[in-house]
Structure formats: structure tokens, C-alpha cells
Amino acid sequence: MYGSKTSRVVVIGMGNVGSSYAFSLINQNITDEMVLIDLNKEKTEGDAMDLNHGIPFGAPTKIWAGDFSDCKDADLVVITAGANQKPGETRLDLIEKNVKIFKGIVKSVMDSGFNGIFIVATNPVDVLSYATWKFSGLPMERVIGSGTILDTARFRFLLSEYFKIDVRNIHGYIMGEHGDTELPIWSQTRIGSEPIDRYMSKYKPNGKQEDLDEIFINVRDAAYHIIERKGATHYAIAMGLARLTKAILRNEQSILTVSTLMKGEYGLNDLYIGVPAIVSQHGVERTIEIDLSDDEMTKLNHSADVLKDAMKPIFET
């Protein structure tokens, strides 16, 4: 962990997301060691070589193509492996095949003696985060899904374009499933410190709620549009994973919209879902229960119900 010993991140799955994430780690000088694991060992060796050749331009990082035994001393194991979302598929369509893949991966990681933190990025991320928690036997705070960090980033970016304000001064969250039932938290969205409705009335009087509704639709459906055009989304989620990794390794206690286990927060129980949470070297320190409007609470409950229904055939006892 940061400040105490050499940090090691293991990346499982060297497809588009995994390789983009590894590239982000080396460019941002986030970890001391990086282990790459994939079924395609030859490609993984090539990725390790390619990344190592960039070290003179980046940060000193020890990188190698490894195996599950390398997970024993890892601070983080980040799983990006699994079947990809195809054009026309929803993230929930991937559940059964990816749960089977994850059962084997998580067992292999835990058999190594791993005692760190899992980050899950594979879709459907909420379901697979829950599966990883179940299969690993680790405390819930040490299994974290990427949740709605990407959706929240898309939300802030599109609002920054609409208002012509630096994205770093746009504050707001997308919560719920990382998928079709996610929801924008308009009641807590701020431009600077100004509530969005008040800011709009003062500085964008010609703006309409319909404009904001269209922004959210573009956030929710962004993956479909990108997949139609280039076959996959990977750069932005890789940067989001790097941000999450940094928050953990550097013990930042940052608030990020990750997927974490609900134990009564927002009236929800026994599922992973995207909510604001404090993230540190211990994993998820606690969920932040922000005030939601009645409509937002209804939509969050609907999102949770959809996830629970999707999980039933696999996790019902």
C-alpha cells in the first residue's frame, strides 16, 4: 500500500479495457508493479513487452505477464475479463456466461493466498461484483465494482458542454445499475456550489428541462452509440479504473460512485449497486446516503428490483 511497501496491481483480462487500464496506470505513475494475466499468454507477453518499452517515457514500473500465483502479494486484483457486450445486447444479457467465468477466476485468485482488494469492471458489473464477493468470501468493503463512475463522468462531461463550464466544477451523480435503469440525481447536481435549477434560471434562462432530460438519455445510452461505431468502450472506463486504483493505493478517502453491497442504505439490502461511497486503502469505508427526491428514490428502487430479478436464477438459494 501507499507509503508502506511496494504496490502491486494484477490485471486479469488483457482485452480492450485491460490493456487501456494498464496503459493508464503506467502513464499516471500509480503502482510500482503490474502483473498481466490472460488466457492468451502470447498476447499478454506482447502487451508486457510493449508497455515495458514505454517506461523510459513514463514512470518506473515493473511489468510482467504472470499467472494467478502472482496475486498472493497483490494489493489489488482488477478483473476486466469476460464476454463483451455485442451490438444490440444489454449488459444484463451477459450475466450467465460471465458469472461462470468469474467463478473460476475468483477461485484461482483466492487459492493464491490473495488478501487484498478486488475491483470488478466486467459487465454486468453490479451482478459480477456481487458474485465476486460471494465467491471470494472477502469482506464486502474489499470487493468494489466500477459501478457508475463512468456514467457519472459522462454526465459531468455533457453538462459541462451544455453550460460551457469546466467539467471539474460540475458536481453530480448517476446512481443505480450500470445500465438501462440508472438514474441522474438532479436534486443534488451543482454547477459550482449552485443547484442546477437555480443556476439555469439565473444564467441560462432559455434552457429547458427537456435539454437536461436529453443529456441524461445520451449518458444512459452512450455505450450503445460507441459500440455501434467502434465495437467497444474502453478508454474512459480504463481512466475511471485508474482513478479508483489511485484512491485506494494512495488512501485518498475520495467519494466515488462505485458498486458496493447494500446493507440497509437507501432501504436496499443484499445487492451491489452504484452509489456514492468513500474509498480508501481499506476499500469502501462507507456508503454516503445523500438526500434523494421521492421520484429519485422510486427510480433507485426500480433499478434495484431489476438487478435482483436478473440475479435470482443464479444466486437464489
Distance from C-alpha of 172 to C-alpha of 153, rounded to nearest angstrom: 9
Name 305's Cβ contacts closer than 8 Å, sequence gap at least 6.
Answer: none
CB neighbour class for 157 (10 Å; exposed up to 12, middle 13-18, buried from 19): middle
- Give the DSSP letter string of 280-316: ETTEEEEE------HHHHHHHHHHHHHHHHHHHHHH-
Nearest CA to 106 out of 35, 18, 31, 10 is that of 10
The secondary structure of the chain in percent helix, strand, coil, rounded to multiples of 5, reads 50, 20, 30
Give the H/E segment covering residue 270: strand 269-280
Q: Please give the grid coordinates belonging to residue 167.
A: 467539467
Which residues are tagged catalytic? 178
Question: What are the cell numbers at 194?
Answer: 449552485
